[in-house]
C-alpha cells in the first residue's frame, strides 16, 4: 500500500512538472564564422556576451583562412564542422564576419544550411565585393572582388534563404570593405553603426546588444 501511494504521488508530481519543463526555452546554438586571415579570436567579446545569456557558441576554424582553394571549400568544411558539433538537424543561428558572412551565405544557400537556420547575421561582409580583394592573389580573394561569378551565384540563389530573418551590419568608416556600402544587402535588414575601422565592429557594445536582442527573441517559422 505504501509503495502504491509513493508511485501515485511520484506520478502526480511528474505530471505537474511536465508542462513547466516543456515550456522552458531551448538553448540557442550560435555559429560564429570568422573573417579573412584570422582564427576567430576577434569573436571573444561577443562570444562571452552571448554565453552569459545562456547561448552555446561555436567558432569553427576556417582553414586556410586566406581563402586559397576557394570559398566554396571553406563552406563545405563549415557544414561538416557544424554537423559534427551540433548534429545535422538541430536549429542554429549563424553570424558571419567579413569573409565569414560570404562563406556562411554559400553554406546556407548552396549546401542546405538554410533548412536549419533561425537567424542569419552578417557583420561588415562584402556582399557586393571589395576592391581591396584585388590586391591578394588567392582564389577566395578573387571571389570577393566586385562582379565576381561567385558573388553573382550567391545573388541568384538568395531565394533559398526563405523567410529567415537576415541582418547586415556595416560601418561607413570601413577601410577593408571598399566601398563600405558593399556591405548593404537588399535581402537583409541593413543597420549602420559608425564604428571606427573594420575589425572593431565585433567589439561594438551597441552592435552586440542588438545581436543579443535578436537572438533572445523567439524564432519565427522560417521555412
Q: Three cell numbers at 71?
A: 570559398
Residues 40 and 61: beta-carbon distance below 8 Å: yes
Q: Which residue's C-alpha cell is 501511494?
A: 5
- Please give the helix or strand (H or E) that residue 56 lies within, else none: strand 56-58
pLDDT for residue 26 = 61
Q: Which of 8-12, 34-38, 143-147, 182-186 has the lowest mean pLDDT?
A: 8-12
Query: Dihedral through CA 134, CA 136, CA 141, CA 143, nearest 10?
Result: 40
DSSP letter for each residue of 116-140: GEEEEEEES--TT--GGGGG--SHH
Percent of the chain with pLDDT over 70: 86
Q: Does domain 26-216 have CATH number 3.40.50.10090?
A: no
What pTM value is reported for the model? Answer: 0.87
CA 166 to chain centre: 10
Residue ranges covered by each domain of the chain: 26-216
State pLDDT tens for residues 188-206: 999 999 999 999 999 999 9
State pLDDT tens for residues 158-197: 999 999 999 999 999 999 999 999 999 999 999 999 999 9
Amino acid at each position: 500500500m505504501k509503495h502504491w501511494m509513493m508511485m501515485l504521488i511520484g506520478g502526480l508530481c511528474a505530471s505537474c512538472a511536465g508542462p513547466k519543463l516543456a515550456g522552458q526555452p531551448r538553448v540557442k546554438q550560435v555559429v560564429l564564422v570568422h573573417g579573412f586571415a584570422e582564427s576567430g579570436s576577434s569573436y571573444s567579446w561577443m562570444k562571452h556576451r552571448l554565453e552569459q545569456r545562456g547561448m552555446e557558441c561555436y567558432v569553427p576554424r576556417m582553414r586556410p583562412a586566406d581563402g586559397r582553394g576557394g570559398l566554396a571549400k571553406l563552406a563545405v568544411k563549415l557544414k561538416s564542422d557544424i554537423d559534427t558539433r551540433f548534429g545535422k538537424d538541430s536549429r542554429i543561428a549563424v553570424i558571419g564576419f567579413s569573409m565569414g558572412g560570404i562563406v556562411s551565405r554559400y553554406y546556407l544557400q548552396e549546401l542546405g544550411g538554410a533548412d536549419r537556420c533561425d537567424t542569419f547575421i552578417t557583420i561588415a561582409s562584402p556582399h557586393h565585393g571589395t576592391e581591396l580583394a584585388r590586391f591578394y592573389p588567392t582564389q577566395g580573394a578573387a571571389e570577393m572582388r566586385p562582379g565576381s561569378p561567385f558573388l553573382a551565384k550567391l545573388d541568384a540563389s538568395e531565394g533559398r534563404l526563405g523567410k529567415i530573418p537576415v541582418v547586415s551590419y556595416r560601418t561607413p568608416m570601413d577601410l577593408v570593405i571598399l566601398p563600405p556600402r558593399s556591405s548593404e544587402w537588399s535581402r537583409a535588414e541593413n543597420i549602420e553603426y559608425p564604428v571606427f575601422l573594420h575589425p572593431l565592429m565585433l567589439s561594438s557594445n551597441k552592435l552586440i546588444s542588438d545581436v543579443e536582442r535578436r537572438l533572445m527573441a523567439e524564432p519565427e517559422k522560417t521555412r
